[in-house]
Chains A and B, each alone.
Chain A
Amino acid sequence: MSPLLEIKNLSVSYGDVRALMDVSLEVAEGEIVALVGSNGAGKSTLLKTAAGLLRPAAGHVLFEGHDITHLSTKHRVDRGIVLVPEGRRLFQTLTVEENLKMGAYLPRARANYEESLERVFGLFPVLKERANGKAGLLSGGEQQMLAIGRAVMAHPKLVMIDEASLGLSPILTRKIFELIVALNQQGTTVLMVEQNIHMALNICHRAYVMKTGHIVLSGTGEELLANVDVRKAYVGERGSKL
């Protein structure tokens, strides 16, 4: 069976700057895959390219075995691949419920609106309480929940989450990660970019480590947590080669 998402030899440039060089990775159905690495490694670029916001210079993006490299974001969302962008990017002046409606904009998602809404309110009960309040008035953790909830409204097969822990306290980060695991256990595949490497490696099935536009390591979460270089580079021990 082909993987749900397959990135093949992807290269992306911003003008003259190469952000991704010949990157390949796979996400199988049902997995949580983490993409970790330092700032500027190209993690967000990879997600944006998979979402159709950026056009690659070379390489392919395959979803369920189909080449979607040249599809618009709209058609990718319709096939079930959604991005929760870095910084959440909620519609602050819209209500919580209106934000969720925007997430279910396409006909396929609209047909499942009630079911999706129930699922989102089940995962994030606080959003139900705040349904008629403006999204801009939510706390940071609630905003991240709404950002993920908005993506869930699209009735996706794959949710890509860029820096879910950004600006959140360790306690809230843990809470959000638990919710991501719950989402995954309901059958949604997750590809997450994270700076909080220790926690990400703890919850993911597999992970890729990126550095300056390349993938330098990959393995299961446990393997990478045990890897000496990863520990030294990202988990706080000294003397890394990465």
Chain B
Amino acid sequence: MTSLLQVVINGILLGSMYGIAAAGLSLIFGTMRIIFLAQGTVIVFFAFVVYWLFVKANIDPYLCLLIVVPFAFLVGLGLFYALFMRAAALEDKNVSLLIAVGLMYLIENAILKVWSASPRGLDISYSSAVISGWGLRIPWLRVALFGLALVSGLVVYLFLQKTRLGMAVRAAAEDMEATTLQGINSGWVCAVSFAVGIGLAGVAGVGMATVYSFDYQFGFTFALKALIALSLGGIGNVFGALAGGLILGVIENLTAYYLSISWIEAVSYGVFILVLIFLPQGLFGKRGVVKKA
């Protein structure tokens, strides 16, 4: 019983990573109407940045948040204006999607060139610190990861609900032209929501650096995991996306526990397909987001 509880808790904590990534995907989808497939690779890139700050400047990965998240936000703005602004205005969303795929391979190969193909992981002094009790052993780093997901989810939620710009992001996700008609610069609104999505990739990059061993090719698989989390949670709801991530984490850990590690991928994608067929709006998504033809 205790070990089952341990498995579920581990799943929830590790699933936080998928949750943060999925929340970013959800935001970007809201205004751009594409699944930003480069999200995972962007996360890996920020994980390398954290690794580099840690190794070269000996900066604690959590302290890196203060550098990496604002940097990620600016990278997001830059990427939007340089690559996506024109494409986002087009009716045909495939153009944006293809740019995202091109960007993914570009970043992957840039990482390969700069940091080589060898996998990295951070050797943090407190990485073995464990919270224990009731027969459970929970690594401190994973608890911190979960906290990171909750806090970033809350920050994004408050931004969307309470600020005027956040409201405009929600308005633009619903009707871009009507948003423009209010005198709102909808290009800037799209840029901001994209940048917040990339900012979340910065948060996820810190998380990845602290708990994973990662290499330049890890991103695409990770983006697909985030996509599964998003399909579980449903598009258009930050906490839904986070919860989707946690559920996927639990599913993966239960699979590893009851079947074997080699079944994880098959079960995850099986769940993905089943959700898309039987529950296309996700567990927490708003009905009507997925329209019937």
Nearest chain B CB to A1 CB, angstrom units:
26
Selected interface stretch from A87-95, A210-218, A226-234: A87-95
CB pair B182–A105 under 8 Å, yes or no, is yes
Q: How far is the CA of A103 from the CA of B168 in the complex (A)?
A: 10
CB pair A53–B180 under 8 Å, yes or no, is yes
CB pair A94–B181 under 8 Å, yes or no, is no
Q: How far is the CA of A103 from the CA of B182 in the complex (A)?
A: 5
For A45, what are the chain B residues with a Cβ–Cβ distance below 8 Å? Answer: none
B183, B184, B286 — which one has the most chain A CB atoms within 10 A of its CB?
Answer: B183
For B217, what are the chain A residues with a Cβ–Cβ distance below 8 Å? Answer: none
Q: Is B265 an interface residue (CB 8 A)?
A: no
CB pair A77–B167 under 8 Å, yes or no, is no
Known: A98-B167, A105-B164, A105-B168. Is A91-B183 also a contact (CB below 8 A)? no
For B181, what are the chain A residues with a Cβ–Cβ distance below 8 Å? Answer: 51, 53, 73, 77, 82-83, 85, 89
For B179, what are the chain A residues with a Cβ–Cβ distance below 8 Å? Answer: 91, 102
For A164, what are the chain B residues with a Cβ–Cβ distance below 8 Å? Answer: none
Nearest chain B CB to A166 CB, angstrom units:
15
For A197, what are the chain B residues with a Cβ–Cβ distance below 8 Å? Answer: none
CB pair A91–B171 under 8 Å, yes or no, is yes
Nearest chain B CB to A83 CB, angstrom units:
5
Known: A93-B286, A94-B167. Is A102-B174 also a contact (CB below 8 A)? no
CB pair B183–A109 under 8 Å, yes or no, is yes
Q: Is B273 an interface residue (CB 8 A)?
A: no
Known: A94-B170, A102-B171, A105-B164. Is A77-B178 also a contact (CB below 8 A)? no
Q: Is B123 an interface residue (CB 8 A)?
A: no
Known: A89-B175, A91-B170. Is A154-B286 also a contact (CB below 8 A)? no
CB closest residue in chain B, given A82: B181
Q: Mark B87-108, 1 if CB is under 8 A from A, else 0.
A: 0000000000000000000000
CB closest residue in chain B, given A106: B183
CB pair A154–B175 under 8 Å, yes or no, is no
Q: How many residues of B contact A (CB 8 A)?
A: 17
Q: How far is the CA of A91 from the CA of B184 in the complex (A)?
A: 14
CB pair A85–B177 under 8 Å, yes or no, is yes
CB closest residue in chain B, given A75: B183
Q: Is A60 an interface residue (CB 8 A)?
A: no
Q: Mark A46-67, 1 if CB is under 8 A from B, else 0.
A: 0000010100000000000000
CB closest residue in chain B, given A51: B181
Q: How far is the CA of A92 from the CA of B175 in the complex (A)?
A: 9
Nearest chain A CB to B133 CB, angstrom units:
43
Q: Is A78 an interface residue (CB 8 A)?
A: yes
CB closest residue in chain A, given B236: A93
For A76, what are the chain B residues with a Cβ–Cβ distance below 8 Å? Answer: 183
For A102, what are the chain B residues with a Cβ–Cβ distance below 8 Å? Answer: 167-168, 171, 179, 182, 184
Instruction: List A residues 136-185 near B (Cβ within 8 Å).
Output: 150, 154
Q: Is B213 an interface residue (CB 8 A)?
A: no
Nearest chain A CB to B238 CB, angstrom units:
14
For B185, what are the chain A residues with a Cβ–Cβ distance below 8 Å? Answer: 74
Nearest chain A CB to B84 CB, angstrom units:
19
CB closest residue in chain B, given A89: B178
Known: A94-B167, A154-B183. Is A53-B177 also a contact (CB below 8 A)? yes
CB closest residue in chain B, given A135: B174
Known: A94-B167, A105-B168. Is A77-B174 also a contact (CB below 8 A)? no
CB pair B183–A77 under 8 Å, yes or no, is yes
Q: Is A101 an interface residue (CB 8 A)?
A: yes
B residues whose Cβ falls under 8 Å from a Cβ of A? 164, 167-168, 170-171, 174-175, 177-185, 286
Give 5 A-B contacts (CB < 8 Å), ordered by A residue. A53-B177, A77-B181, A82-B181, A93-B174, A94-B174
